[in-house]
């Protein structure tokens, strides 16, 4: 029986420096009998030289499209926006299962090419907990940028947005910059910011809280289900905080945490919202005050405020790959957590975690609009 081939594709999203399979994990996969092909990547935090000696083979950037159909393509973020059908099994985050804008265009490429999507976001253990996630580093990075933005607005005014940022080599360097920014903001405001984190008990929220504590903050409101279930939003406590970090994942509609009306309060102190979940086009978004993703190059966008509102400016951070601010540490933690599941890819059709991902893929394909895929029902039946 031929060994299973894993093809690690190069990321193409701007400033995406992470990798799903790091050099140390590639070595372990090769040791377990896998063939691992790693595309050369100009963006990756892991230079090609780090894969030398691991047993993995370096292959040209973008060569996954020509790989034999039985090779499993492993990546992180979305594929480039092309239209050709997909013939492989893809392991990645696709962001097309929750009604996001253009979800059907993304999803229908798989059944059209008789390919399969095994979405990393929905790999769950027996207890329904995700087997691997970037949540901690997303919350950590999101809170860091939120504090930087809070301080920047105080020291530079509302008409000069927070400048672009680039990836940090390590956590210590990021914390150093955040501490310096917070001290400058404190000198202007006369106090440290009050930060409210919703989802504080989850991976993402824990990352946000840890960053705030490491930055020296002492007024952190840690909200989770008990607080949000006690009363429906919008919440005045958010409006009266300096910074709000949203760390929850929603699959059903709930009353919004903040709204245009709640922002009209004269007592509003809120100046920065970081929506770490970043489901910008999700109809269930609990933060319906913006409709655009931001980027590391342009981290914030201003919110149009109701007339009569407090004069405090308000900015949104909605970057959908925040962990790439700390790409090495985020990749190493994620890849290590994913390893037990990766080691089962040679028999994935008979392994619960991958079976569940395939089942979800079939269910989502069945919801594609009529005509999105010619004969897609027959295609799906032929893949079962």
Q: How far apart are the first and last CA of the chain?
A: 22
- Asked if residue 319 belongs to a known ligand binding site, the reply is yes
- Asked if residue 249 belongs to a known ligand binding site, the reply is yes
- Asked if residue 228 belongs to a known ligand binding site, the reply is yes
Whether 77 is catalytic is yes
Q: How many helices and strands (H and E) does the chain possess?
A: 11, 12
Which of the following is catalytic: 77, 179, 186, 214?
Answer: 77
- H helical segments located in 190-257: 203-214, 225-230, 236-239
- And the tokens for 350? 């008979």
d(CA 94, CA 369): 18
Q: How many angstroms separate the Cα of 153 from the Cα of each of 148, 182, 306, 357, 363? A: 9, 11, 19, 43, 46
> Which H helix or E strand runs over 222?
strand 220-223
* Closest-CA residue to 139 (of 219, 222, 259, 79): 222
- Asked if residue 109 belongs to a known ligand binding site, the reply is no
d(CA 145, CA 174): 10
> What CA dihedral angle connects 106, 253, 222 and 169, to 10 degrees?
10
The C-alpha R_g of the chain, in whole angstroms, comes to 22
DSSP assignment letter at 326: S
- Asked if residue 97 belongs to a known ligand binding site, the reply is no
d(CA 93, CA 119): 5
Q: Are strands 315-317 and 301-302 parallel, antiparallel or unpaired?
A: antiparallel
Q: How far does Cα 374 stand from its chain's mean position?
A: 32
- Asked if residue 168 belongs to a known ligand binding site, the reply is no
- Asked if residue 104 belongs to a known ligand binding site, the reply is no
- Asked if residue 320 belongs to a known ligand binding site, the reply is yes
Q: Which residues contact 153 (CB under 8 A, 6 or more apart)?
A: 162, 271, 272, 313, 315
Tell the burial category of 218 from Cβ atoms under 10 Å away from its Cβ (0-12, 13-18, 19+). Answer: exposed
Whether 95 is catalytic is yes
- Asked if residue 276 belongs to a known ligand binding site, the reply is yes
Which of the following is catalytic: 28, 87, 88, 95?
Answer: 95
- Asked if residue 38 belongs to a known ligand binding site, the reply is no
Binding residues: 129, 202-203, 224, 228, 249, 276, 319-322
Q: Which residues form the catalytic set?
A: 77, 95
Binding residues for NAD(+): 129, 202-203, 224, 228, 249, 276, 319-322
């Amino acid at each position: 029986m031929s060994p299973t081939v894993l093809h690690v594709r190069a990321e193409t999203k701007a400033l995406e420096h992470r990798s799903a399979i790091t050099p140390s994990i590639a070595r372990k996969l090769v040791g377990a009998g896998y063939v691992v092909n790693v595309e050369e990547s100009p963006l990756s935090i892991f230079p090609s030289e780090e894969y030398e000696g691991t047993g993995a083979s370096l292959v040209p950037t973008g060569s996954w499209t020509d790989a034999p159909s039985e090779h499993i393509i492993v990546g992180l973020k979305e594929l480039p926006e092309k239209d050709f059908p997909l013939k492989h099994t893809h392991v990645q985050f696709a962001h097309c299962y929750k009604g996001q804008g253009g979800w059907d265009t993304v999803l229908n490429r798989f059944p059209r090419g008789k390919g399969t999507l095994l979405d990393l976001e929905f790999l769950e253990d027996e207890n329904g907990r995700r087997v691997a996630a970037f949540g901690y580093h997303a919350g950590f990075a999101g809170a860091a940028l939120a504090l930087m933005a809070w301080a920047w607005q105080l020291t530079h005014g509302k008409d000069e947005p927070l400048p672009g940022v680039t990836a940090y080599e390590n956590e210590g360097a990021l914390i150093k910059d955040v501490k310096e920014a917070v001290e400058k903001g404190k000198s202007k405001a006369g106090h440290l910011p009050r930060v409210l984190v919703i989802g504080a008990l989850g991976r993402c929220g824990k990352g946000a809280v840890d960053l705030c504590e490491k930055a020296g903050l002492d007024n952190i409101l840690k909200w989770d289900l008990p607080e949000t279930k006690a009363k429906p939003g919008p919440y005045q406590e958010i409006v009266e905080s300096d910074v709000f970090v949203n760390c929850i994942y929603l699959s059903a509609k709930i009353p919004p945490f903040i709204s245009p009306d709640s922002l009209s309060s004269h007592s509003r102190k809120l100046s920065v919202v970081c929506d770490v979940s970043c489901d910008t086009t999700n109809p269930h978004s609990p933060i319906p005050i913006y409709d655009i993703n931001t980027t590391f190059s342009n981290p914030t966008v201003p919110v149009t405020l109701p007339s009569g509102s407090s004069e405090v400016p308000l900015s949104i951070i909605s970057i959908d790959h925040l962990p790439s601010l700390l790409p090495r540490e985020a990749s190493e933690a994620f890849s290590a957590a994913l390893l037990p599941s990766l080691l089962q890819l040679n028999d994935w059709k008979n392994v619960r975690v991958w079976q569940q991902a395939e089942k979800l893929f079939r269910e989502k394909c069945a919801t594609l609009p009529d005509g999105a895929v010619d004969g897609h029902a027959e295609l799906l039946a032929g893949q079962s």
